[in-house]
Structures are given as structure tokens and as C-alpha cells.
Amino acid sequence: MTAARAAAGLALLLTAACTAPAPPRIEASTAAGMACARPQGSPGAETATTIDVVEQAYFCILGAYYSGPTLDARSLLTAGFIALTQELNRNGRDVPEATMPALTGDRKADWTAFEAVYRKITDQVPDLRDRLADVTLEAVVAALGDNHARWTRDVQRHPDHYDGDGYGLGLEANVNGRQAEADPGVALPPLFVTAVQGGAARAAGLRPGDLIEEIDGSAPFVDGQATPAITSLYPRYPQARPVKLRLLRQSTGRRWTVTLKPGLFPRDLAGLQVVRSELVDDDIALVRLAGFSPDSANRVFRAVSRLRTGRTLSGVVLDVRGNGGGSPVEATRLVSAFVHGKPTAHQCAVDGRCQTMWTDDTVELLGLPLVVLTDRGCASACEHFSSAIKDLRAGTLVGTRTAGVVSGPASPYLLGDNTLLSFPTRHHLGPDREVIDRIGVAPDHHVPLTPKDAAAGRDPALAKALTLLHK
């Protein structure tokens, strides 16, 4: 991989979770004098994760995470120790030293006690040392319960960094990957294919609307509740385990089983475009926005301007379904094309002090009615945008509730093993200071997609949007 591609890949990774404005390069952890270092360009070669790296991450979280000042650090250490002992058990290598030390609530003293026991354990199983450090750090970060907190390895080999390639089974379902992993409780049966992007799914002849009745022999829903089996539809690189699906095509009654092997596949050119636009019903600008990447707001403005040339538009339909987020600055600029002089969000510290994000009133108002199409794939900066449009009455939301994945803009920090730790330093609230994280933004008109709609190529949300704009 070239240095340019590696740097571009890193930039994509850092903006995917709603990148915040860059703070100073080094933020010292007050608990142990250890630095939370901001990444500068592409990181160096990754090295083995050690207990020293876990310590760096622990104090970085306590020093810079938005609720770090009030966080009970014992919850992080307990989660790390649970993961440690579970990994020992999975390997059949339990040792008598693997007993959780008593914790007092003193962050530094508790770390010292934790580290002493940890080192005793790993000295007994030196061949597991690297793996134990990995699972411990993963658990510490996961204990935050924050959808914008993550520890990222293999930054330069992440599948999203391949030019023009996708990775996976080549399909999308009505329960998306983020929802399946983070919030399966909001998923509703049945599970069905909504799009075939390529790869194994296309080769096997899958079509939108096909019902997925089993995944590797397990039901995707039991008593109406989503099961972990759904996550297998969205494998992570470099996993290559085939996934066996049992399918039903309702239009013909055909039932069959197919085994799909994850892999890289070329995306359609249309799927690579952040902004796509077309004229609908001769007077409606339909603009699809796949993500809030740099300059995406300007691209939307240019698209509307082109469609407006030589005709009078009745309105704009902005489709942000499946938009996973990106830059909060771009989200704010796009809101600003429909309303001025209003707050679009608040970024708040744990003590309640907030920084208000205002509309950018240098952006020219489009002066057109707006309908926004949303779904459970609209997350992070997309929810920043959607909540602002709804709260400020700048447009109408149609579709389904958004993802509820907007804890706050994530700031990345480079750890000593050249991996990335990222988490919010501020917590996101909507324009009316409402919590959106884990809740999502409800549409003004609830219009879900059904398997029959997908199979027939119908888009009921778009149809509703056009009806609203033609009233």
C-alpha cells in the first residue's frame, strides 16, 4: 500500500465517527502523567499491544473522555479483568493468580493493583501475553458503553481503504450492521435483502425482497427479538468464514440454501458517489447523500443548482438513508441552506457546560421546501442534521427512526503500539438540548420498507415525500 493511500485510509477512519475539531496535539493525562497523543499523519508500523499500552489507554480515557472526571474507573478495570479470565478459560489455561484485586476507587492505586496481578498472570502464560493484552484493552473500551468509543487495529489494512472495493457478502439487509451489533433490540422481523451490491450475493442470484430465514442454521429472530446471528451478514476483514443462508422468495415460493464467502468486490460506480442527484416528476430535486465527507454540503448545493437551471423546482428530497455520518461541520452547513440564526446542536461536558453549534449564515438559503428521507442507517452526523431539520422546522422527515448512534464527536488518540483509541470529549445534544443518542430521531411520517416493496422496486418513503411536496 502506498503512503498516500495509507494516509487517505486513516483520514476516512477518523472522519467516519464524526470527527471533532482538532484539540492541541498532546493532552496529558492528569492521573499518571501519560500523554494522549493526537495522530499526525499515517501511524508507524503496528507493534504488539502490552500492559503498558493498556495503561496508557486507561489513563487517556480518564483524562480526556467526556465523562472521565466522574467515571468510576473500577468499572473499566473490572471489565478488563473479566475479559482476561474468560480468555484464559477459552484457552484452557486458567492460573491461580487470576483473582481480581480489591479496588478502592483510587484510580492510580487501583491501576497499580490491577497491573501487579495482570503481570503475575501473564508470566504464567507468556505465549498468551499478546492476546490477553488485546482482549483486556478491548473490554476496557467496551465498558464505556459508548457507540463512538473504539480501539482500532490494522488501520492501514481496514477494508474501507481499498480503492473502489467493498468487503463482505455483497448484500444489505433491512437490519444494518451497526444496528445488528450495537442495538439489535430495535430491529423488527422479518429479515430481508434490501440491496445486492455485488460479490458473492450477486453471483448467487440474490434479489431485493428475498427473506432470510436462517443464518448458519440459526433464526435471525426468536419471539420477535433479533439474535446475534444477524451480525454474520456483515463480516469484518480479514474474516473469511463462509456464511450459510436459507432464503425464501415470496413471489415464487422458492426456498433454497446458499453459502456465501466474504471477500472484496468492486462497488458500482454509483455506489462510490457521495452525492447523486436526479430530477423527479419534472420539478423535484432528489439528492442522495451517502456521507458527510469534506465538501459534501457544497456538492449538494451544486447538484440542486444544476437541477434548478432552466426550471422552477417545487422542492428538494434529500435521501440520507444509510448515511453513517462524518463531519459535523458539513452537517451544520447543509442545515444552513434551509434555516439561519439557529442552534443545530450542543456539545456538552459532564458538568453541563455546553458549546452551541450555530448555523453558518454565510451559506445561501435555497428557499425550497425540504423533505428528508431517514432510516436506521442514518447515524452520527446524519442524526445531527436530521434532528436540526426537525427541531428547527426546516423540513419534514419521512421514513423510519434514525440509528441513535450519536454520543458525541470522536477524537482519535495514537497509542504506543501505533493503534488508535477514539472517544468523545463532549456529549451531543440536539437543538432543543434533547438526548438523541440511543434514541434516534423519529420521522414526522413513519413509512417503513417491506419485503414486497423491496422485491417490486418500490420506494414508499420517496412516494410519500413527493406527495407532501406536491400538496
- Of 34, 73, 55, the residue nearest 116 (C-alpha): 55
Are both 246 and 276 inside the same structural domain? no
Structural domain that includes position 98: 3-157
Cell digits of residue 400: 423510519
pTM value is 0.87
Which of 125, 157, 189 is the C-terminal boundary of a domain?
Answer: 157
Mean pLDDT (whole number) for 282-309: 97
Are both 262 and 274 inside the same structural domain? no
Share of the chain above pLDDT 70, in %: 88
Query: Which helix H or strand E contains 330, and what residues bound it?
Result: helix 328-335
Q: CATH number, domain at 226?
A: 2.30.42.10
Are both 288 and 381 inside the same structural domain? yes
Mean pLDDT (whole number) for 210-215: 98
Are both 311 and 442 inside the same structural domain? yes
**Is the dihedral angle over the CA atoms 166, 170, 172, 176 positive or is it negative?**
negative
Q: How many Cα neighbours within 13 Å face the side chain of 357?
A: 30
d(CA 31, CA 39): 21
- Of 258, 255, 265, 308, the residue nearest 283 (C-alpha): 308
Q: What is the pLDDT of residues 340-357, one digit of tens each?
A: 999 999 999 999 999 999
CB burial of residue 252 (10 Å; 0-12, 13-18, 19+): exposed
Are both 304 and 425 inside the same structural domain? yes
Are both 337 and 318 inside the same structural domain? yes
For the ranges 112-126, 159-173, 374-388, the lowest mean pLDDT is seen at 159-173
Kindly list the distances between the CA atom of residue 18 and the CA atoms of 36, 293, 300, 303, 446, in Å, as whole numbers in the listed order: 19, 10, 19, 24, 26
Residue 400's contacts (CB-CB under 8 Å, 6 or more residues apart) are 374, 375, 376, 443, 446, 447, 448
Are both 304 and 419 inside the same structural domain? yes
Residue 348: φ, ψ to 5°:
-120, 145
For the ranges 21-25, 34-38, 249-253, the lowest mean pLDDT is seen at 21-25
Which residue carries 453558518 as its cell?
360
- pLDDT band of 131, cuts 50, 70, 90: very high
**Residue 318 DSSP label:** E
- Of 321, 307, 360, 312, the residue nearest 338 (C-alpha): 360
For the ranges 26-30, 50-54, 281-285, 410-414, the lowest mean pLDDT is seen at 26-30
| CA 212-218-223 angle, 5° bins | 85
Q: What is the pLDDT of residues 148-176, one digit of tens each?
A: 999 988 655 444 433 456 789 999 999 98
Q: What is the pLDDT of residues 52-99, one digit of tens each?
A: 999 999 999 999 999 999 999 999 999 999 999 999 999 999 999 999
Are both 261 and 276 inside the same structural domain? no
Which of 157, 187, 218 is the C-terminal boundary of a domain?
Answer: 157
Are both 228 and 146 inside the same structural domain? no
